[in-house]
Structure 1
Amino acid sequence: MQRRAFTPAVLVFAAIVILIVLWIGSGMIGRTPEQMAAPQSRVPVVAASWSEARSVDRTLFLYGALQPRNSVILRARTEGQLQDIVAQGTRVHAGDALGQLSMDDRPARIAQAQANLASVQRNAEASEQLANRGVRSNLEAQARQAELEAARAALQAVEIDIENTTLQAPFDGTVSRLIVEAGSFVARGGEVLEIVNNDPLLAIVQVQQSEIANVHPGMAARVGVIGGKVHQGKVSFVAPVADAATRTFRVEIEIPNPDAAIPAGISAEVTLIAETVPAHYISASLVRLDQHGRTGVLAVGDDNRILFHPVGFVAADAAGVWVGGLDAREHLVTISHGAIAEGEEVEVRETPPEFSLPEAPQAPGIIEVDAGPQEQAP
């Protein structure tokens, strides 16, 4: 008996397959090649915050020591016993008497010089009169005149020697140290005492050759001393030649000290204000390198595309860095998921408060610069 080719079960299965094929095919009909292509990737999402520039002092931070403006060892200009001397710590003015040496035989020597001058002067006058009348030669008169000049010089030498028995202050200052006591014999050129002038004081620092171009006489400076007090000063001297051993330059900062309230010889922290520039305060983590090795930050333009701005460091502290080279107002990228490139279009959202830009300090930070070998106070 011949079997039938199509059973009801086969027909039902075939109908189901045809329906499924038609359903799938209907979705492809009428679609363009673009619609059939792979779905496009989503636009990256970044978070950004607005940053405003502030005026920031670009400063150099250096360590040094305070020294007096003038400091000398007073030496005797003649010899004698020191009969009197001022007390240590005495404030004196230029020309004040600081000590007195004994006169010894100086009164007798000046009396002798005066008598000799009088005698020689009479002889010179008489010789000149005789020469005028032709009794004596002019040559003899000239010899007597030379003797007169020598007598005058001898008298002047004794007078100066007597003046030198009084030790005088060369400038306003303070007697900081007595080297000899009253009653001691002092030879000519012997050290007697030390006098210093602490108004103004000088803060001495050493500046590296990489920074010396930014330092010049007259620029403002802040000098901090032990106790936390900060004094205003200005650069008064910049060495024209570097130290051969350290390759650093000696710089002197003058600090007014009218009441001598600041002692010399103590350590000082010197801040030199090189220039004032506009800068943005950001987290150091936002700074990155581009493909050319430039240091900069990412920002979002008006068209929501990424911009790379090269920046330079102006100042830094523990919480953030001040960077320059940006516009007065910038929309800086703070958070990005994955790598984003310059020119790439992004979707911009506001930065969550916990990841926002750090709050700028009231007083900008400073760049610490190694001062090199420290100048020691005397």
Structure 2
Amino acid sequence: MRLFPILIAGLVCVALFFVVLEREALLGFARDMTGEAAAAQGTPPEEEVVAEPVAISDTATDAASDPVHVVAMRSVAREVPDAVMVRGQSEAAREVVVMAETTGTVVSEPLRKGAFVEADQLLCELDPGSRGATLSEAEARLAEAQARVPEAEARIPEAQARVAEAEARLQEARINQNAASRLSEGGFASDTRVANADAALRSAEAGVTAASTGLETMQAGIKSARAGVQAAEAAVERARLDIEKLRIKAPFAGLLETDTAELGALLQPGTPCATVVQLDPMKLVGFLPEAQVDRVAVGAMAGARLASGVEAQGEVTFLSRSADDLTRTFRVEVTVPNPDLEIRDGQTAEILIETPATVAHMIPASALTLNDEGQLGLRIIEDGLAGFTPVTLVRDTVDGVLLSGLPATVEVITVGQEYVTDGVPVRATFAEPEATQ
């Protein structure tokens, strides 16, 4: 049963051998067979026809030089608003975890998350405990320290009088010592008198020193009393601040992201009381690539569409000067008003940032074509001949595409651009009037 397929395969191989490798021999065999058949029928074999070159007629040349009919439009460049689009997310303008600064038990009713609080509104109140007594004690010490100052100041005149008295005695002792010395030189005073005068002078000098030291001590006492007053005032201030820290208030108007501390809870320094979030205004944060960061400036207008469909407008308030180490992108922040609190923290957003206007042409997208090198461009008309010019796509719109890289005025082939090449003469029918800026 398998012999027949093997036989067919062999015949096919033989046929392929003669068709591919022995083609000339096969064709010669066929011609011989054809000649024999013609001789048997009395018909002379066909003679080999030798092709001769035929001259191209003037008519064909004229037909090749006829211009190709195309449809074109005249376009004039105009300034069009431009923008950069980035993807980002919404971010609260401010978010603070309000913490306790002192130790105490909560004695206020808690506020529930989602509630709106005003600036300086009470969030948590702590039990004062013995802080009132501490304040009273500090105030009493302050009064005591303040009373010591006049007492110390009252001793100054007495000390000054003692100094004056000591200086007068010193002057008298100097006069006596001088007189005794001169009398001793003339033989009118004994050595004992001179020695007594010298002793009196030294005693007077010591009295002046002692009186001056007493005056300085009194002055130091005044300074000490005043320092005691300052220390007592600091103690009073600390006690008052500690009492003020018992009332934990909202730093700004916003929403409570968490409940405030529960009644009876013990708070210590660093323990959270509540989290307050400010959502008006709202920040929209995105990241610009290196190629587009120079096109954006602080103060530029921007618009955004959130994933929820909410649209917002604002302006750029921050543009980073340093790139992210991993993504090599630059952080940009857009501040938008959010009076109705429609925008939530952390929503995905498409941000469109306005950039300086771009000079471009509005061309139908169907007019775009590719050259032999694969460049995107347009077929244009120059002096009646078709040409190609590469373009840069600015952006796509409903009415067409905005293109840059073209002359200020250009004639663009919109229909038939695929049937002409560079240098081909064309005859254009302009479908649209010249564009105006």
TM superposition score category, shorter chain reference:
0.7 to 0.9
Q: Structure 1 residues 203, 349: CA separation in 2 closer, same or farther (over 3 Å shift)? A: same
1:280 aligned partner: 362
**2:282 alignment partner AA:** L
Write out the 4+ residue segments of structure 1 that deviate beyond 6 Å after TM superposition: 35-38
Question: Counterparts of 1:50 and 1:141 in 2: how far apart (Å)?
Answer: 99
Q: Quote how far apart the aligned CAs of 1:87 are.
A: 3.2
Q: Quote how far apart the aligned CAs of 1:320 are.
A: 5.3
Q: Quote how far apart the aligned CAs of 1:322 are.
A: 2.1
| 1:87 maps to which of 104, 112, 117 | 112
1:182 aligned partner: 263
Q: Quote how far apart the aligned CAs of 1:42 are.
A: 2.8
Contact 2:285/2:331 (8 A) holds in 1: yes
Structure with bigger helix share is: 2
Contact 1:48/1:300 (8 A) holds in 2: no
User: 1:322 is paired with a residue of what secondary structure?
Assistant: strand
Q: Quote how far apart the aligned CAs of 1:51 are.
A: 5.3
**1:64 alignment partner AA:** G
Structure with bigger strand share is: 1
CA deviations on 1:228-252 (whole Å, 9 max, x unpaired) are 2221111111110000011111111
Q: Quote how far apart the aligned CAs of 1:210 are.
A: 1.3
Question: Counterparts of 1:250 and 1:82 in 2: how far apart (Å)?
Answer: 41
User: 1:118 is paired with a residue of what secondary structure?
Assistant: helix
Question: Counterparts of 1:127 and 1:142 in 2: how far apart (Å)?
Answer: 9
Question: Counterparts of 1:337 and 1:71 in 2: how far apart (Å)?
Answer: 60
Question: Counterparts of 2:133 and 2:347 in 1: how far apart (Å)?
Answer: 51
CA deviations on 1:72-101 (whole Å, 9 max, x unpaired) are 110112111111143322322322222211
The aligned runs of 1:141-180 (5 Å cut-off) are 141-178=222-259, 180=261
Q: Quote how far apart the aligned CAs of 1:142 are.
A: 1.6
Q: Structure 1 residues 338, 223: CA separation in 2 closer, same or farther (over 3 Å shift)? A: closer
Question: Counterparts of 1:81 and 1:36 in 2: how far apart (Å)?
Answer: 111
User: 1:270 is paired with a residue of what secondary structure?
Assistant: strand
Provide the alpha-carbon RMSD of the alignment. Answer: 2.8
Question: Counterparts of 1:36 and 1:152 in 2: how far apart (Å)?
Answer: 118
Identity of aligned residues (%): 26
Q: Quote how far apart the aligned CAs of 1:144 are.
A: 1.7
The answer to whether residue 319 in structure 2 is matched with residue 238 in structure 1 is: yes
Given the two structures, how large is their TM-score scaled by the length of structure 2?
A: 0.66
Moved more, 88-97 or 229-238: 88-97
> What number of residue pairs does the alignment pair up?
316
| 1:324 maps to which of 397, 400, 404 | 404
**1:70 alignment partner AA:** R
Contact 2:112/2:260 (8 A) holds in 1: no
Q: Quote how far apart the aligned CAs of 1:221 are.
A: 1.2
User: 1:83 is paired with a residue of what secondary structure?
Assistant: coil
**1:306 alignment partner AA:** A
2:73 aligned partner: 50
Q: Quote how far apart the aligned CAs of 1:263 are.
A: 1.7
Gaps of 5+ in 2: 1-56, 160-213, 433-437
Q: Quote how far apart the aligned CAs of 1:147 are.
A: 1.2
The aligned runs of 1:129-148 (5 Å cut-off) are 129-134=154-159, 137-148=218-229
**1:348 alignment partner AA:** A
User: 1:177 is paired with a residue of what secondary structure?
Assistant: coil
2:91 aligned partner: 67
1:265 aligned partner: 346
**2:314 alignment partner AA:** G
Q: Quote how far apart the aligned CAs of 1:337 are.
A: 6.0
The aligned runs of 1:294-309 (5 Å cut-off) are 295-301=376-382, 303-309=383-389
Given the two structures, how large is their TM-score scaled by the length of structure 1?
A: 0.75
Question: Counterparts of 2:140 and 2:106 in 1: how far apart (Å)?
Answer: 29
Q: Quote how far apart the aligned CAs of 1:169 are.
A: 1.6
Q: Quote how far apart the aligned CAs of 1:294 are.
A: 6.2
Contact 1:124/1:144 (8 A) holds in 2: yes
Gaps of 5+ in 1: 1-34, 357-378
Question: Counterparts of 2:417 and 2:221 in 1: how far apart (Å)?
Answer: 110
2:123 aligned partner: 98
CA deviations on 1:123-167 (whole Å, 9 max, x unpaired) are 222112223432862122221221111111000100011111111
User: 2:106 is paired with a residue of what secondary structure?
Assistant: strand
Contact 2:391/2:405 (8 A) holds in 1: yes
| 2:290 maps to which of 186, 205, 209 | 209
